[in-house]
Structure 1
Amino acid sequence: MATNQEEVKLLGSVKSPFVCRVHIVLKLKGIEFEFVDENLANKSDQLLKYNPVYKKVPVFVHNDKPISESLVILEYIDETWKQNPILPSDPYHRALARFWSKFIDDKIVAASVKVVHSVGDEKEREKNVEESIEALQILENELKDKFFGGEEIGIVDIAAVFIAFWLPVIQDITGLKMLTAEKFPKLYNWSQEFLNHPIVKENIPPRDPLFAIYKAYYDSLIASK
């Protein structure tokens, strides 16, 4: 176990939901690590060295071996440190967990980001909101237990931190309502349970500074139209 903990580093930004995923898993497994807060407007040589392909965070570095892309990082951590597993042991359920984690990125995160960027184009925005709501409905139908991982949080719950924490921030900034208790009661209740999980609660960024950063960005988009 000790050899796995010799050098663990996470290059990231506190405002990123993808970095937050990795943060939660590292804390869930009790892994000591160094966090390097990257300024994405002025990327460090270290970030460009470790992730020359995408030049993005998060980058996870284990004994000087870098890994990029949050879902790939989560699986690597789970395979390397066996305590508190976030992926099911059954191959079929593992495959399903991978499928839904990717679904969240491809359908919900992607559409929600487009909602923000389609400011000024009502038709495009409407289309993106509709896509987000359709995807949230599919996820609502899939939620069978307290968490997607059952009684304990798993990789799908952690992938969905964007839905629980970042999506409400986006809603408040844009004035659009996508995830509400009325529309999606199961997902809404899940989001409250998830955000109140002790490890999650400690490792999501403070809401007010995050809101201010996203609001300033959104206002700049409106001003540029």
Structure 2
Amino acid sequence: MAEDLKLLRSWSSAYGMRVVHALKIKAIEHQTVLEDMTNKSASLLEYNPVHKKIPVLVHKGKPICESLVILEYIDDTWKQHPLLPRDPWDRAMARFWAKFGDEKVMPSIWRVFISQGKEQEEAVTSAVENLKLLEDQLKGKKFFGGDTIGYLDIAFGWMANSISILEEIAELTLLDAEIFPLLSAWMNNFSDNPTIKESWPPRDRMVEKYKVIRETYLSKVV
């Protein structure tokens, strides 16, 4: 029941969107609590006293923190539409690449967005190298997990929404469809899924938000 399950997140967080996508795919009703991260609620600080961050999934009064951990909890708790592969090796690989995404891919793309000149050129080189590794993981597959959206697709889902926004703001092309045909096709397949499509935050608000963030970072560069 929705009253037993609530999700604390912000309107724009890529991490929170992961949880939204997982719950939607599994058709799990839940209550959404939107947090203002500049003025964190008492509930958020109570539920996540360690990191004080969103998202937090609260199930029957018990909090689960960190988006990738939450995805596994959801998959273990609600068995319909499995997200993680059954095979132990495949599950381990899914976790490996999800970690790679958070620790390598996301930071490298972010550096492209908040830099300029020579530093940005170096950041683009690093980001492209990481994206090539992901391109290889899609050979012969529609989604990272196979024919249907799974755990790894949701973990990488932020790319399908954010990269084009960052490209627009920074006025560059990072993910060229000719260089990354498989990733480009994956982004389209993921974004066009009706369940995913209805969940994206408003693009105009995202563009406005990240323009301000980029300007703030660049203004600090001496």
Q: Give me the TM-score of the superposition, normalised by structure 1.
A: 0.93
Aligned to 2:21: 24
Aligned to 2:173: 177
Distance across 1 between alignment mates of 2:176 and 2:161: 13
Structure 1: segments with no counterpart, 5+ residues: none
User: 1:151-190 counterparts in 2 under 5 A?
Assistant: 151-190=147-186
| Residue 108 (structure 2) pairs with residue 111 (structure 1) | yes
**Deviation, structure 1 residue 126:** 2.4
Aligned to 1:205: 201
| Residue 130 (structure 2) pairs with residue 135 (structure 1) | yes
Match among 64, 69, 81 for residue 78 of structure 2? 81
Is the Cα–Cα contact under 8 Å of residues 107 and 131 in structure 1 kept in the other structure?
no
Aligned to 1:98: 95
Question: What percentage of aligned pairs have identical amino acids?
Answer: 47
Structure 2: segments with no counterpart, 5+ residues: none
Is the Cα–Cα contact under 8 Å of residues 3 and 30 in structure 2 kept in the other structure?
no
| Residue 215 (structure 2) pairs with residue 222 (structure 1) | no
User: Deviation per CA, 1:89-137, whole angstroms, max 9, x where unpaired?
Assistant: 1111111111111111111111112223334xx3332222211110100
**Deviation, structure 1 residue 200:** 0.6
Aligned to 1:49: 46
Runs of 4+ in structure 1 displaced over 3 angstroms? none
Q: Give me the TM-score of the superposition, normalised by structure 2.
A: 0.94
**Deviation, structure 1 residue 224:** 3.5
Distance across 1 between alignment mates of 2:216 and 2:137: 37
**Deviation, structure 1 residue 52:** 1.1
Is the Cα–Cα contact under 8 Å of residues 6 and 30 in structure 2 kept in the other structure?
yes
**Deviation, structure 1 residue 181:** 0.6
Query: How many residue pairs are counted as aligned between the two chains?
Result: 220
Distance across 1 between alignment mates of 2:50 and 2:110: 22
Amino acid at match of 2:152: V
After superposition, the CA RMSD in angstroms is 1.4
Is the Cα–Cα contact under 8 Å of residues 115 and 218 in structure 2 kept in the other structure?
no
Aligned to 1:37: 34
